[in-house]
Amino acid sequence: MPFVAGECPIRNRSGCPVSMSLEVFGDRWSLLIVRDLMVRGFRTFHDFANSGEGIATNILADRLRSLVGAGIIQAEADPRDGRRVNYRLTEKGIDLAPVMLDLLIWGAQHEDTGAPAAVIAEMARNRDAVLAETRRRWVERDPRPMLPWLGGPTPRPLRAARPAKRSKFARLRRPGKEKQA
């Protein structure tokens, strides 16, 4: 895919592709958002905010805006509720799948992550199949978590019905006391 000048505002400090890539998605939160879209089935602000990572909502909003601006993700109106926004990886974003897989394998090999060693070993052996499955899920918009031990989106809590407001006149009468004629 050729680079088109002016597509996203990347500060070109050295011309190094690694440096330029880190300008786009090199902070912790951006990579975790991409991970959650790619393998956990997250789609909404609520999903990311409740991921268990502890991201502050102002940082989350900023990173989502930055990733949209860089063309890594896109925001879409929820087809069931136009007031809600769903996020989705773009072609540019799904092209990060090999990078994310390598980070996952590297982290599990060199750090105490708690990730199932047998699953990581299998993913490393079947790298091409894992990447093909990741792309298939993206193309088909399959929201199921790819790595179940990471968990998926938590359901939005149902809002409890508010109790009916009492009128100002109801407050004037005491319960059990009837107005005498």
pLDDT in tens, 144-165: 888 765 555 554 444 444 444 5
Instruction: Give the pLDDT confidence score for residue 24 in this predicted structure.
Output: 81
> Does 96 have pLDDT greater than 50?
yes
Q: In order of start, what are the domains of the chain with their CATH numbers?
A: 15-90 (1.10.10.10), 96-141 (no CATH)
Q: Is the pTM of this model over 0.75?
A: no
- Strands (DSSP E) along the chain, which ranges? 73-77, 85-89
Average pLDDT of span 69-97: 93
Average pLDDT of span 1-30: 69
Q: How far is CA 140 from CA 99, 127, 135, in A?
A: 21, 20, 9
> Does 23 have pLDDT greater than 80?
yes
**Spatial distance between the Cα atoms of 30 and 45, rounded to a whole number of angstroms:** 13
Residue positions counted in the chain: 181
CB of 57 within 8 A of CB of 46? no
**Spatial distance between the Cα atoms of 87 and 93, rounded to a whole number of angstroms:** 11
Mean pLDDT estimate for the chain: 80
> Does 9 have pLDDT greater than 90?
no
> Does 65 have pLDDT greater than 90?
yes
